Each structure stands twice: as structure tokens, then as C-alpha cells.
Structure 1
Amino acid sequence: MTDPVTWAPRRGAASAVLLTRLAAEHGMPAARCLAGTGLTRADLADPEAEISAGQELALIANLVGALGHVPGLGLRAGARYHPTTFGLLGLAAISSPTLGTAVDTGMRYFDLTYAFSPWTAERTTGALRSVIDDRAIRASYGEEVARFLAERDLAAVATFVRDLAGPEVRLDDVRFRHARPSYAALYETVLGVRPSFGRTVTCGTISALTLSATLPQADPTTAELSRRHCERQLRARRSAHPGGVLAARVRADLRRRLEAGAGIAGQAETAARLGLSERSLRRRLRSENVAYSELLAEATSAAARAMLATGRTVESVAAALGYSGTSSFTYAFKRWTGTTPGAYSRAAASVSITAAPTPPATAAASVSASVSASVSARATASGRARR
């Protein structure tokens, strides 16, 4: 059975940049987009930056919450996802010999895309149908976010296909789970085909004849080199951030709980929220080479640093995270960061005083990043001195 959530632990920031620009065009400032994501505008300005899937989902939830009244917001977003948006994966697709090969490459390196739900490829007589399973997104983020992502992802596919094979090439059939909206005409404009609504699944179909179309920029050397780079990029991300599908779900669940002020979650409680037994959760995380305790420490450390960066006392942060006292929290914080929470708070205060004015929504993340860099530099200098 296909897991209803699938995303790599990390992804490029290009999609977040694109969505932030879309929001700005509709009068939504970047600070509001990034609120609660842990991201800053500096993060998005770095072309090599990687962010978590949870951070991009938080950004999307902000976007939909503020601009949900804009007709076809997801369609408008998806129309901006050109092959270049996907970096090396886009280059691998552009240089493929046929559209079908490009599609196969995209499915092979699916973790380098910006999707959040699994796509199941179903090959039928004369066609390829890709079905999106967005059950987990609907359950965790609601129907509005799920509809935005369905619109975005299928509009991105339609845009990708046209960019690769020519403006006259299009999907043969598109279906959506959600009901027909008042702006249904916009779907045909963006997708190039009139979709149907209220179906049992969300999916897109493309004929075998269309898939056989040769691509104008095909180059076997470039295609092979790009695929090798994609393999290396995947390996690097997975080794730097252990875990897979389930680990990403646990990370997102822990982050949401801590941001809501609900404190640290035990393994049994998290397993129940994810619809698993504690034993299954432990076993499946082990198969992804990560332990629940590692994910919990990662999420708690990030939440603690963010709260301390806003000026909260060590006592209040310890209580918010569910620690019985400051001593146990201090011990854990020093194990995570190499410094005490008090020292971290003082460093955060000095950074806040000397830094240029920062929008409130991004201040905590910006200060946290600066303090972490400062603490790291001091630790390195101290180590050198001892040597």
C-alpha cells in the first residue's frame, strides 16, 4: 500500500521563492508568508539553500489562509513552475530524447520535486495516468490547502510538458476530486484541457503518442550527466538528513505540536496521531536509519532556540517544552548546542540590539540563525585554543 505522505526530508528553496513572489504580487508581504516557518528572506536569497518540506507547507498554509479568495491561486502558482525551477532535474528532462523519457526521469527522481503527496503511475493501453493520493494533506492541512496543491501540481505538469515539447502539446485528461469552482474556465486556460470535477481521484493522463514526441533540445551526454548529478544530490540530502517518508511525517507532527505549545510528545502519542502502533513506528523509523529520540531532539532544539531568540526566559521555555525544571532543560540544551540556554539568550539579546530592524514574523528565525552561527564560531575558536 502506498504511504499517503511522501517527501524528502529536504528540498531546494526555489518553490518557496516562487510562492513568496506570487504572494507579493497580491499584496502579501514576505514576513507574513514566512511567519512560523523558521525561514528568513536571507534563506530564500541563497540559491543553494535547502529547506524542509514542513517549512514549505507552513508557507503554503499562510498563503492559502491570506489569499484563498484569489480565484485559481494554485493554478496561477503552478503555471510558474518551469523546468528551470527544478534545477538539475529540469536539465535532465530538457535534454531527454522524448517526453516519455523526461516523465520517467521525473518519477525516478521524484524526491527532487516539490510535491507533498505520492503520485502513482498507472500505465494503461495507449496512455499513462498519474494519480495523486492527497489523503494525508487533507487530513493534516485541510481541503483548501489540498485543493491549492492539486491545482498547483497539475498546472505545473501542464506547464512543464509545454515547455519541453512545445505549446501545442498538452495533457489528454485531467480530473479533480474537489467540486467544480466558480472559476472553472481558468482551469482550461492554464491546463490546455477542460478538466472534470467531483471525481473519485485527482489525476492527469497523457497519451502514449504524446509521450513519444521527441524533444528539441535532446542531448544524451547532458542527460546522462544531469542524471548523475541528480543521484548525487539525492544521496547527499538523505545522508545529511536521515530518514525517509515516515521520518518526515514525524518531524512535521512534532513541529506542529511544539509550535502550538503542546509540549514534548512521547513516542506512543505520536504513533497514535499518525495512525500507527508504537511498535510499528519504532520498526519503520529503524528501517529509515533514524530513531524517534533523534527526531524529538531535533524538533525540541529548534523550538527552544526560536523561543529563546524572542527574549523568553529560560524558565518559561523549559515549562513550554514540558521539562520539569530548568536544570534538566539546561542539560539537554547544552547537549544539543554546546552552550547553555542562558548564554544563548544573552547572545540573542546582543544580536537583536546590533541588528537592523527586522519584521516581527521573521525576527526570531533571523536572530536564532545569527546566534547559532556565533555560538558555533566561539566553539570552534575554543577548540583551536585548546589544541
Structure 2
Amino acid sequence: MARQPQRFYSTIAAWPLAIARALEQRGIDPAPLFSQAGIDRLQLQQNPDGRVAIDHMSQLWQLSEAATGDSSFGLSLADFAQPMHFRALGLVVMTCDSMLQAIEKLAEYHALVSDTVNVRLVHQPGRVGFVVDPLADVYTSPMASEAFFATMVRFSQQLSGADQLVAGAELVRPAPADPAPWQQVFGSPLRFAAPTNCLWFSRAGLAAARVMGNAELRQANENEVRRYLAGLQALGWQARVEQSILTLLVAGEPSLADIAARLGIGERSLRRYLAAENTSFRECLQRARQQLACRLLQQGVAVAEVAHRTGFSDSSNFSRAFQRWTGMKPGQYHDPDIMASPD
């Protein structure tokens, strides 16, 4: 039985192009780094709607950090990324009625920027959190989320003219020796080694901060964003559900209620949306478990640990399920000398 193809995770061309400009400002030639990361800068300049595979992008972040010797390098990208660089999504943000609506649109259509994370908004009495949850099976550099957060801070200042919108941040990276660069961008409170990345905004500030406010232009550009994402198959409910499941599996098997709450919709609606795509929550759960299991096995993780991390009670149950999914035993899957077919 042939193995299922791995999903292609990617990010928009705006990020590597901004990295190139940031490196050049520091007197560093980006060409060798782009070549080493397998990214064609000229091709991206000619096709700004293009995408970059996340593996290549993560390598470019790592190379850039090594070249600059600066773990806060991602923050500097806010100087080189403008709303227009994010194509139709940037125009959507620019034509919202308020910054609160703008960050809601960024959360809704985040996959245009990168489909390697889940984004959700957390609403509290005095503040709103823009939360970026990394997918459990995809590595992304901490600098990627920090660059996006720093860019959001800059966008909010440019579009609204307000300086007091950001109310702190939580970052997954370990506490750096010198937190000053992050404090300068995000203010306080600032927390490192957090379970996820969250940029906090003042609720009152967001509601009061007016933007351009053109409903007709916003709708036209939202339609363009939807067309773009439909081409990436990034807006499907199946994809959203499976990404959410992958994120939560490490803490135990999530329920339909857990995923519905995470996506901000009712359970009945989620069932209906999945049915419209000819699937179900149970099927999404099984696909997500299979995807994570295959990736972990390829990484050489022990079968017992894979069983635990994919929500199985023991290795025997996991092995039977894995054979049902793939037609082979878990031990065969990561052995290149064994054919991927049943005995």
C-alpha cells in the first residue's frame, strides 16, 4: 500500500523577502543564506503571491540568526513588512472599521500568511489575545511568530495612529539573557517560556482605534483572499479540524466539543460543515492520529511513545490501528528496506 503524501506546509513570500532586506541593512549578503536554505529570492520577487515550504523557511530563520548573532532578529522584520506585502489580506486589514475588526480578519485568514499554525482570539474583560498555536507535527522557528507579532504592532500603529494598543505578550521561547529588544516592542507584561505565543491588546484601545473603514473594498479583497486560500485548500473545515486535533493530541485525545470551542463555533455547526465536505469528526481524528503517528515513526520515536502521544491506551492497540491504516506494522514504516505493503 502506498504511503499517504505529506502535507505541504508553507508561508507567503513576504517573509523571506523581508528577511533579505533586514539582512542587507545589517551589511550581510543574503544570497549565500538563501542558497543554503534552497530559496530562490529572484523567483519570489517575480511572484510575490508565491509560497515557501516551511522546512526551507525554518532553515532560513536559523541561518539568519547565526549570521547576525541576534536571537531577536525576527523583531526587526517589522521595519520591512508593510500591509501591501501581504497582498489582498493587507488590503482587508487596511479597510476594516477598527483595529478590533482588523485582528479578527487576521485571525480568520491567517493561513494566507502561514498554514503552519492555528490562530485564535482570546477575549477577556480588559484585553484581547491573538494566540498562535504551533501545530504539533510542524517545526517553526520562534522568530517566525515574533516577526508576525512585531509586524502586527507596527501595523496597528500605522493604521490607527494609536500607540497604546499592545498590552504585553507571551512567547514560547526561553527567557533570553537580555529581554530588552522584546520589551521595547511588546512592552509589559512580557512572559517567556509560555505554552503558546500570544500578543495581548487593550480591548478598549482596539475598539476605539479607527482605521480606513471601507466595507465595499474590504468585501472585494476578502473575496480575493478566499479565492487564494481555496487554491491552497487552506480554508476547509476538515483541514482546520485536523490541525486543531494535532495541536491538542499531545495533551490527550480532544473531543468534538473541544475542537468546536477552539474554532469558535457550535458542535452542531461543526458536524454540518464537516458533513458538507463528506467527512466527520471521527474520520478527522483518525487521519490526524495517523499523520502524527507516521511523522513520529519517521523521526525514530519508539512505538510505545508514539502510541501514547497519539492517544492509544497501549502499544498493541496502536499497532493494530496502524496496520489497518497503512497495511504495515509500525516497525516496518520507518524501515526503508521493507516494502510498504502487507505481508
TM-score normalized by the length of structure 2: 0.62
Q: Distance in 2 between matches of 1:152 and 1:32?
A: 22
Aligned to 1:337: none
Calculate percent identity across the aligned residue pairs.
Answer: 17
Relative to 1, partners in 2 of residues 1:188 and 1:99: Cα closer, same or farther, differing over 3 Å? Answer: same
CA RMSD for the aligned pairs? 3.9
Alignment of 1:174-185 (within 5 A): 174-185=169-180
Alignment of 1:110-121 (within 5 A): 110-114=110-114, 116-121=116-121
Aligned to 1:218: 213
Alignment of 1:192-271 (within 5 A): 192-193=187-188, 195-238=190-233, 244=239, 270=295
Q: Distance in 2 between matches of 1:124 and 1:21?
A: 37
Shift of 1:194: 5.4
User: Could you tell me which amino acid in structure 2 is paired with residue 100 of structure 1?
Assistant: L
Q: Structure 1: 5+ residue runs without aligned partners? A: 1-6, 248-266, 285-290, 292-321, 325-387
Relative to 1, partners in 2 of residues 1:26 and 1:115: Cα closer, same or farther, differing over 3 Å? Answer: farther
Look up the SS of the partner of 2:233 in the other structure. Answer: helix
Determine if contact 1:95/1:215 at 8 Å carries over to the other structure.
Answer: no
Alignment of 1:199-348 (within 5 A): 199-238=194-233, 244=239, 270=295, 272=297, 273=299
Determine if contact 1:94/1:215 at 8 Å carries over to the other structure.
Answer: no
Relative to 1, partners in 2 of residues 1:174 and 1:8: Cα closer, same or farther, differing over 3 Å? Answer: farther
Shift of 1:26: 2.9
Aligned to 1:362: none
Shift of 1:225: 0.7
Look up the SS of the partner of 2:58 in the other structure. Answer: helix
User: Could you tell me which amino acid in structure 2 is paired with residue 60 of structure 1?
Assistant: W
Determine if contact 1:23/1:33 at 8 Å carries over to the other structure.
Answer: no
Alignment of 1:94-113 (within 5 A): 94-113=94-113
Shift of 1:155: 1.2
Relative to 1, partners in 2 of residues 1:153 and 1:133: Cα closer, same or farther, differing over 3 Å? Answer: same
1:94-153 CA distance string (max 9 Å, x none):
10111111111111111012474323322122321233334748x846xxx32x234323
Relative to 1, partners in 2 of residues 1:37 and 1:187: Cα closer, same or farther, differing over 3 Å? Answer: closer
Q: Distance in 1 between matches of 2:35 and 2:319?
A: 33
Determine if contact 2:10/2:114 at 8 Å carries over to the other structure.
Answer: no
Q: Structure 2: 5+ residue runs without aligned partners? A: 1-6, 244-291, 300-305, 311-317, 327-335, 339-343
Q: Distance in 1 between matches of 2:133 and 2:40?
A: 31
Determine if contact 1:173/1:206 at 8 Å carries over to the other structure.
Answer: yes
Give the one of 150, 153, 156 matched to 1:158: 153
Determine if contact 1:71/1:183 at 8 Å carries over to the other structure.
Answer: no
Determine if contact 2:167/2:189 at 8 Å carries over to the other structure.
Answer: no
Q: Which has the higher helix share?
A: 1
Q: Distance in 2 between matches of 1:99 and 1:193?
A: 20
Stretch of structure 1 that moved more, 105-114 or 36-45: 36-45
Aligned to 2:31: 31
Look up the SS of the partner of 1:206 in the other structure. Answer: strand
User: Could you tell me which amino acid in structure 2 is paired with residue 51 of structure 1?
Assistant: V
Shift of 1:49: 3.0
Q: Distance in 2 between matches of 1:22 and 1:100?
A: 29
Relative to 1, partners in 2 of residues 1:11 and 1:194: Cα closer, same or farther, differing over 3 Å? Answer: same
Relative to 1, partners in 2 of residues 1:279 and 1:92: Cα closer, same or farther, differing over 3 Å? Answer: farther
TM-score normalized by the length of structure 1: 0.56
User: Could you tell me which amino acid in structure 1 is paired with residue 54 of structure 2?
Assistant: A
Relative to 1, partners in 2 of residues 1:279 and 1:212: Cα closer, same or farther, differing over 3 Å? Answer: farther
Relative to 1, partners in 2 of residues 1:199 and 1:236: Cα closer, same or farther, differing over 3 Å? Answer: closer
Relative to 1, partners in 2 of residues 1:268 and 1:168: Cα closer, same or farther, differing over 3 Å? Answer: closer
Q: Between Structure 1 and Structure 2, how many residues are aligned?
A: 259
Relative to 1, partners in 2 of residues 1:174 and 1:98: Cα closer, same or farther, differing over 3 Å? Answer: same
Relative to 1, partners in 2 of residues 1:268 and 1:208: Cα closer, same or farther, differing over 3 Å? Answer: closer
Q: Distance in 2 between matches of 1:213 and 1:99?
A: 8
Relative to 1, partners in 2 of residues 1:230 and 1:199: Cα closer, same or farther, differing over 3 Å? Answer: closer
Shift of 1:156: 1.9
User: Could you tell me which amino acid in structure 2 is paired with residue 81 of structure 1?
Assistant: A
User: Could you tell me which amino acid in structure 2 is paired with residue 58 of structure 1?
Assistant: Q
Relative to 1, partners in 2 of residues 1:156 and 1:87: Cα closer, same or farther, differing over 3 Å? Answer: same
Aligned to 2:59: 58
Q: Distance in 1 between matches of 2:26 and 2:219?
A: 40
Q: Distance in 1 between matches of 2:176 and 2:88?
A: 36
Give the greater-gyration-radius structure (CA): 1
Look up the SS of the partner of 1:96 in the other structure. Answer: coil
